[in-house]
Amino acid sequence: MRKNSIKNTRINGEVLRELSNIIRGEMKDPRVNPMTSVVAVEVAPDLKSCKAYISVLGDQKSQEDTLAGLKSAEGYIRSRLAKNINLRNTPEIRFVLDQSIEYGVNMSKLIDDVNRQGEN
């Protein structure tokens, strides 16, 4: 199976949707920031492993706490994923912090500042 096959793309979308629902609705860990979103998911073609890119709105400590909370709840999240999605193998999830949204907001702010200075 090729990495970007239609089946793999569908599985990525399904896992992304379910992970988002589990993190948003079922997790009770106080370390996990309520403003946490799953940006992207890459499931390996053999369905053994999965990288979940997580974006957290907040400061550095909040991001680290959320990542620690998600890593400690990895078994629970995997079991819920297995219950909700019928796959041959339930992938082992690795959470990766994705700071692209934060980077985009900072760049937009800098562009706005430059535009304001140009008007003066």
Q: Bridge-partner residues for 40, per DSSP?
A: 53
**Looking at residue 80, what is its pLDDT?**
92
pLDDT at residue 100, as a whole number? 77
Query: In 3D, which of 25, 117, 29 has the Cα closest to residue 80?
Result: 25
Q: Using CA atoms, how far apart are residues 4 and 55, in angstroms rounded to an integer? A: 23
Three-class SS state of 15: helix
CA 103 to chain centre: 16
- 53 forms bridges with which residues in the sheet? 40, 96
Distance of alpha carbon 30 from alpha carbon 68, whole angstroms: 11
23 backbone dihedrals φ, ψ, rounded to 5°: -65, -40
Q: Is the pLDDT of residue 67 over 80?
A: yes
Question: What are 76-117's pLDDT values in tens digits?
Answer: 999 999 999 988 888 999 999 987 777 888 889 999 999 888
Asked if residue 25 has pLDDT above 60, the reply is yes
pLDDT confidence of residue 3 = 55
pLDDT, position 95: 93
pTM over 0.75: yes
Write out the E strands in the chain.
36-43, 49-56, 92-97
Q: Where are the alpha helices (DSSP H) in the chain?
A: 6-21, 60-72, 74-84, 100-119
